[in-house]
Amino acid sequence: MNHDSKIDYLELNPGGNKLLFRDKRRQLHLYNIKEQKKQTLLNYCKYVSWVPSSDVVVAQNRNNLCVWYSIEEADKVTMYQIKGDVESIERTDGKTEVLVDDGANTVSYNLDEALIEFGAALEYKGLDRAVEILEPLELTPETEANWKTVAKMALEQQNLYVAERCYAALGNIAKAGYLRKVNKLVAQEGINNFRVQAKLAVLDKQFHKAEAILIQHDEIEEAMAMYQELHRWDESIKIAEKKNHPDVREFKENYFQWLLETNQEAKAAEVKEREGDYSTAISLYLKGGLPAKAANVVSNFNVGVPQDQLEKISAQLISSGMHEKAGDFFEKMNILDRAMDSYVRGHAFRKAVDLARRAFPSHVVNLEEEWGDWLVSQKQLDLSIERYVQAGIFNKAIEAALSARKWNRAVQLVADQPPEIARPYYKQIAKHYSEVR
């Protein structure tokens, strides 16, 4: 490992996987041996040491005592204001003190022994010891974070009894109850049983993995029941269809009814759209306040719908402020005057101009000017220039070019104008070129 300054302090942690060192420039560094990564912890470091038999680091920086209770998260440092210099760390009879010499006498600062113990237990003594340390402590943000850390590690190590205890301590009754059921199953079948592994996959939100495990063991009903418990009926129905389940029709009807009862009209509409019942899908999309999806069904599948339903779709699109979408819808339905109106209201001028060129040629010039005015209101002056040119409104085009400081373009535009229009602009442009010499 390369380092460009002389080292004056060097020490490994008890596990021998982290190296703490300080150089002559008073910079404190931590080197993770397993990951082969170095990071700087502190500048102007006067004193540094590992707390005996732990992974806690104590260091001094000017008048600050810095303590890293969890060196894995090096950015989380606890700071204490002190006067004087740290002399040593003493750890006896379940108490850890930092001794500071302030010139006249020695002052001791107590560290949080529970946090020190917890870190050491997690690193060297296992999860059970970590839980023992946390048990008597009240739930604070720090201890809550520690319970979560143990829970995560317990699930990774498949120590499900510890995981259950952690979620109970955190007040997550749903997960604790779920793990209790899994633990009962483990007691009967063992941790490697496929049902146990499927339930653990569900806990980890790996639902497709759980499904694959169950289907591999021909537990079709159980795989479907898993999705039904999670209210993922569509996934359950997919399995029923794939495996040609005799009750698949009944499942679909039950799912559709459940969606309606729970006011999930949009989801119910998707089901009907997939089944090709477009009329019901459109009604449900409108009921669920999704006029854009209703419009897509009409235009994508060329569905013939009654006039009153068309009016409902367009009215909902407009009231929702989706003017451009309403314009697209009207254009596909060949109601071109309303399409034009919607495009303009939604400031979709490109579509409006394209439509005007095809169907309303006399509107093009006015639309180009309106587009330019809108761009100016949006402070997009450089884009507005060409719109005014297309509309033949040259005084607005020149003013937009001047405001956008597009001097060369302004010169080109002015050169094409008669003298009585050009003269005031020539003065303005000349003044600019004079100022920039």
Is 125's pLDDT higher than 70? no
Q: Of 358, 381, 357, 376, whose CA–CA distance to 367 is shortest?
A: 357
Is 141's pLDDT higher than 80? no
Q: What percent of the chain has pLDDT over 90?
A: 13
Q: What percent of the chain has pLDDT over 70?
A: 92
**48 pLDDT tier (thresholds 50, 70, 90):** very high
Helix (H) or strand (E) holding 80: strand 78-81
**49 pLDDT tier (thresholds 50, 70, 90):** very high
Residue 299 pLDDT? 67
The terminus-to-terminus CA distance of the chain in angstroms comes to 59
Q: Of 41, 52, 47, 40, whose CA–CA distance to 63 is shortest?
A: 47
Determine the average pLDDT of the residues in 264-276: 75
Is 296's pLDDT higher than 90? no
Is 200's pLDDT higher than 90? no
Determine the average pLDDT of the residues in 140-151: 82
Q: Are strands 95-101 and 85-92 parallel, antiparallel or unpaired?
A: antiparallel
Which comes out higher in pLDDT, residue 243 or 399?
Answer: 399
Number of residues in the chain: 437
Determine the average pLDDT of the residues in 190-198: 83
Contact call for residues 74 and 41 (beta carbons, < 8 A) = yes
> Which SS3 state, helix, strand or coil, does residue 240 take?
helix
Residue 320 pLDDT? 77
Is 252's pLDDT higher than 90? no
- Structural domains of the chain ordered from first start: 7-119 (2.130.10.10)
**301 pLDDT tier (thresholds 50, 70, 90):** low
Determine the average pLDDT of the residues in 92-106: 85
- Render pLDDT for 326-340 as a digit per residue (tens, 0 to 9): 888 887 777 888 889
- Render pLDDT for 406-418 as a digit per residue (tens, 0 to 9): 888 888 888 888 8
Strands (E), 329-419: none
**17 pLDDT tier (thresholds 50, 70, 90):** confident
Contact call for residues 169 and 162 (beta carbons, < 8 A) = no
Question: What are 28's strand-pairing partners?
Answer: 22, 42
Distance CA 406, CA 383 (A): 11
Phi, psi of 101 (to 5 degrees): -95, 115
Which comes out higher in pLDDT, residue 174 or 93?
Answer: 174
Most confident of 124-128, 244-248, 416-420: 416-420
